[in-house]
A and B are shown apart, each in its own frame.
Chain A
Amino acid sequence: DAEITQSPRHKITETGRQVTLACHQTWNHNNMFWYRQDLGHGLRLIHYSYGVQDTNKGEVSDGYSVSRSNTEDLPLTLESAASSQTSVYFCASSTGTGDMETQYFGPGTRLLVL
């Protein structure tokens, strides 16, 4: 079955380290998104991509970067991890064939920055 996966599922790192979170989807979706979710806040968009070589900044992109070298993957990199980046990170994808499409979410990555 087609799916969207994230790895690692849990990560503990130290302040200042570079961290990369992986997102892989096998639906052949054009659109991919990265969100963070914190208590008391809705999902907040970090970066998104509408296709290979396309990346865009979201609402809370500072300190994060993404690259899209193929359809299946959109890795999220924290350049220099900060304690404020402790959060649950969700990757999502949608087909990219219409104006408004359902987003399907991966299982999430829990990141703790010490």
Chain B
Amino acid sequence: GQNIDQPTEMTATEGAIVQINCTYQTSGFNGLFWYQQHAGEAPTFLSYNVLDGLEEKGRFSSFLSRSKGYSYLLLKELQMKDSASYLCAPVDSNYQLIWGAGTKLIIKP
């Protein structure tokens, strides 16, 4: 079966760094998305990785290891507005996104 595992909730301090992990098992693999979702709002695109390694985009970076079925999202210089849920979504062999339940990130001053 297909399974996505990410922590339910994490807490971090403003200005710090946090790493949100995601492990996955899918039928086939065609890359992995990370989305951000603020409470009561729609998910918005953060990153897409299809090759192994780290991709940096401003304060946010995303890492992928296909052999380990593992990805992480790294957020630097945390700001209060980063308080949100972060959704991991690998893409299966049918090019369907398989969504994790999300990690709720709480930023404290």
Q: Which residues of A contact B (CB under 8 A)?
A: 35, 40-45, 58, 90, 99-100, 102-108
Contacts and interface: CB of A to CB of B under 8 A. Distances in A.
Nearest to A48: B96
B101 A99 contact: no
A42 B101 contact: yes
Given A42-B87, A42-B99, A100 B30 contact: yes
Interface size of B as a range: 20 to 34
A46 B42 CA distance: 17
A43 B95 contact: no
20 contacts: A35-B99, A42-B4, A42-B87, A42-B98, A42-B101, A42-B102, A43-B43, A43-B87, A43-B89, A45-B97, A100-B30, A100-B31, A100-B48, A100-B50, A100-B95, A102-B48, A105-B43, A106-B42, A107-B41, A108-B42
Interface of B: 4, 30-31, 33, 41-45, 48, 50, 87, 89, 91, 95-102
Nearest to B4: A42
B101 A41 contact: yes
Nearest to A102: B45
Contact of B42 (A90, A100, A102): A90
A102 B33 contact: yes
B31 to A, nearest CB: 5
B100 to A, nearest CB: 5
B96 A45 contact: yes
Contacts of B96: 45, 58
Contacts of A108: 41-42
A35 B99 CA distance: 10
The 9 closest A-B CB pairs, nearest first, are A42-B99, A105-B42, A43-B99, A102-B45, A42-B101, A42-B100, A105-B43, A107-B42, A100-B31
Nearest to B100: A42
A97 to B, nearest CB: 13
